[in-house]
């Protein structure tokens, strides 16, 4: 790239920086995009490519070792002062020479700070990686998905480089036929299921629709407090219902959390109160008839169109005409300029579920294909996951 182009990139950074709305993720992403364009312009292509080919996979190794050994806890627990590799190794029961290699690698990606030749201090990333949600994300992503990723070369050579329609790379790697979520709920996979549950709070930066959108305009205000306001279908631990209740405590109406029996069995019902937990397989008829709204957060992106139609049909049959709606809180992938979050989720959905993230046209064709209509697609503070309001046609 020429110096004229670099000056152009710097100018755009200045412009975007001056108009930055820091609290708005979209505005921050736009500035970051320009900053990355500058890095791309300055970094030799060979370095950039080698960083992806060599550093990205090996960084997974260093992160998972650091997470599983308790390295981030040891680094953060007694304050942010620098610690020697020897003292950290002693705390976690590792060999100092081994840990030194992991620590210096983590420092290259600023996940920790190298303060001296063998001293390290935590930074914001180290604190995050020691928090239960991000630890859960590391375990559920890196440990659970690694077998599928390792299987990618032979899988796509065998199937001919096309979207998986039968067994997914994940299922093929593990030689299983059940969907990932049922496999994850097997007793022997409890560690992965628990990690995934805590990781759910950090998806897409944790942007929540009920924090920014006009909730009463979307849900209405029920006059009968015994009526059902929202059914969270496949709601896992109920993060969205808990958050909605906390943010809007005076909203009348019952809140119901549904998930597979093994997932519901892991909940502490007393902690959830007044939210009601219910065992329900969304491929069977919806037992809660005539709720004001049925909520599907990052559910349909786990399923191909055929399975998604079945899930939606079961809700459609339970809806009261002119009253009930479905709220889909999922990625709407742009036709141009999709970000890393959308694209990486899309590949994960392909590997794990034989599914995909959907564009606005994909959503419209899925929903209109079963005789329903999209009333509005709400932007949730610039997050990738939008709120799609669906009603009977």
Ligand X SMILES: C[S@@+](CC[C@H](N)C(=O)[O-])C[C@H]1O[C@@H](n2cnc3c(N)ncnc32)[C@H](O)[C@@H]1O
Active-site residues, by number, are 301
* Site map (CB under 6 A) of ligand X, residues 48-77, x = contact: ------------------------------
241 makes contact with ligand X (CB under 6 A) = no
In the bound state with ligand X, the residue whose beta carbon lies nearer, of 302 and 389, is 302
List Cβ<8 Å contacts ≥24 apart for 13-17.
13/38
Chain position carrying tokens 């390792």: 150
> How far apart are CB 194 and ligand X at their closest, in Å?
12
Report how far residue 161's alpha carbon sits from residue 8's, in angstroms, rounded to the nearest whole number. Answer: 39
In the bound state with ligand X, the residue whose beta carbon lies nearer, of 127 and 167, is 167
- What the block records as the tokens of 345 is 């989720």
Report how far residue 98's alpha carbon sits from residue 242's, in angstroms, rounded to the nearest whole number. Answer: 43
For ligand X, how many residues bind (rule: CB under 6 A)?
Answer: 17
Report how far residue 377's alpha carbon sits from residue 388's, in angstroms, rounded to the nearest whole number. Answer: 4
> How far apart are CB 329 and ligand X at their closest, in Å?
7
Report how far residue 56's alpha carbon sits from residue 26's, in angstroms, rounded to the nearest whole number. Answer: 26
Residues in CB range of 26: below 8 A, 6 or more apart: 381, 382
Report how far residue 55's alpha carbon sits from residue 76's, in angstroms, rounded to the nearest whole number. Answer: 25
**End-to-end Cα spacing for the chain:** 52
> How far apart are CB 279 and ligand X at their closest, in Å?
9
In the bound state with ligand X, the residue whose beta carbon lies nearer, of 122 and 136, is 136
User: In this chain, which of 76, 89, 299, 350 binds ligand X, going by CB under 6 A?
Assistant: 299
> How far apart are CB 163 and ligand X at their closest, in Å?
20
User: In this chain, which of 234, 253, 352, 354 binds ligand X, going by CB under 6 A?
Assistant: 234
195 makes contact with ligand X (CB under 6 A) = no
199 makes contact with ligand X (CB under 6 A) = no
386 makes contact with ligand X (CB under 6 A) = no
209 makes contact with ligand X (CB under 6 A) = no
Contact 208, 240 (CB under 8 A): yes
- Scanning 9-17, 45-53, 59-67, 275-283 for contacts with ligand X by CB under 6 A, the matching segment is 275-283
239 makes contact with ligand X (CB under 6 A) = yes
In the bound state with ligand X, the residue whose beta carbon lies nearer, of 151 and 280, is 280
Q: Within a 10 A sphere around the Cβ of 364, how many other Cβ atoms?
A: 15
183 makes contact with ligand X (CB under 6 A) = no
User: In this chain, which of 39, 101, 163, 283 binds ligand X, going by CB under 6 A?
Assistant: 283
> How far apart are CB 307 and ligand X at their closest, in Å?
9
- What the block records as the tokens of 29 is 């992403």
Q: Buried (b) or exposed (e) across 80-94, using 16+ Cβ within 10 A?
A: eeebebeebbebbeb
- Can you state the percent helix, strand and coil of the chain, rounding each to 5? 55, 15, 30
136 makes contact with ligand X (CB under 6 A) = no
171 makes contact with ligand X (CB under 6 A) = no
Cα 374 to chain centroid distance, Å, stands at 24
Residue 377 pairs in a beta bridge with: 388
In the bound state with ligand X, the residue whose beta carbon lies nearer, of 236 and 384, is 236
In the bound state with ligand X, the residue whose beta carbon lies nearer, of 94 and 257, is 257
208 makes contact with ligand X (CB under 6 A) = no
> How far apart are CB 81 and ligand X at their closest, in Å?
37
Nearest C-alpha neighbor of 120 from the set 133, 131, 111, 132: 111
Site for ligand X in 252-271 (CB under 6 A): 259-260, 263
Q: What angle do CA 226, 232, 234 make, to 5 degrees?
A: 145
Report how far residue 234's alpha carbon sits from residue 131's, in angstroms, rounded to the nearest whole number. Answer: 25
In the bound state with ligand X, the residue whose beta carbon lies nearer, of 14 and 191, is 191
Positions in the binding site for ligand X (CB under 6 A): 181, 200, 234-236, 239, 259-260, 263, 280-283, 297-299, 302
């Amino acid at each position: 790239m020429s110096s004229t182009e670099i000056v152009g990139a710097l100018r755009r950074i200045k412009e975007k920086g001056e108009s930055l709305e820091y609290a708005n993720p979209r505005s921050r992403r736009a500035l970051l995009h320009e900053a990355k364009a500058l890095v791309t312009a300055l970094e030799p292509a060979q370095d950039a490519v080698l960083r992806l080919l060599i550093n990205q996979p090996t960084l997974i190794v260093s992160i998972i070792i650091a997470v599983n050994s308790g390295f981030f806890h040891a680094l953060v627990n007694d304050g942010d002062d620098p610690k020697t590799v020897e003292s950290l190794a002693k705390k976690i029961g590792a060999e100092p020479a081994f840990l030194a290699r992991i620590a210096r690698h983590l420092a290259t990606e600023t996940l920790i700070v190298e303060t001296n030749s063998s001293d390290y201090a935590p930074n914001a990333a180290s604190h995050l990686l020691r928090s239960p949600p991000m630890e859960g994300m590391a375990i559920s992503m890196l440990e659970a998905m690694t077998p599928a990723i390792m299987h990618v070369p032979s899988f796509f050579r065998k199937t001919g480089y096309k979207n998986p329609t039968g067994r997914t790379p994940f299922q093929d790697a593990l030689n299983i036929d059940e969907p990932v979520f049922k496999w994850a709920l097997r007793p022997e996979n409890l560690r992965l299921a628990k990690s995934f549950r805590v990781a759910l709070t950090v998806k897409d930066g944790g942007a929540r629709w009920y924090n920014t959108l006009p909730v009463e305009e979307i849900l209405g205000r029920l006059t009968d407090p015994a009526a059902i306001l929202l059914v969270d279908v496949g709601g896992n631990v109920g993060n969205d219902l808990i958050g909605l209740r906390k943010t809007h405590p005076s909203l009348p109406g019952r809140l119901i959390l549904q998930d597979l029996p093994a997932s519901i069995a892991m909940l502490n019902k007393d902690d959830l109160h007044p939210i009601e937990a219910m065992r329900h397989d969304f491929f069977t008829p919806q037992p809660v008839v005539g709720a004001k709204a049925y909520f599907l957060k990052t559910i349909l992106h786990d399923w191909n169109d055929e399975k998604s139609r079945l899930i939606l049909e079961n809700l459609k049959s339970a809806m009261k005409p002119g009253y009930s709606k479905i709220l889909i809180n999922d990625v709407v992938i742009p036709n141009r300029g999709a970000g890393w979050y959308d694209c990486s989720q899309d590949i994960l959905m392909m590997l794990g579920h034989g599914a995909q993230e959907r564009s606005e046209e994909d959503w419209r064709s899925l929903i209109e294909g079963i005789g329903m209509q999209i009333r509005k697609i709400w932007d949730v503070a610039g997050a990738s996951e939008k709120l799609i309001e669906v009603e009977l046609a």
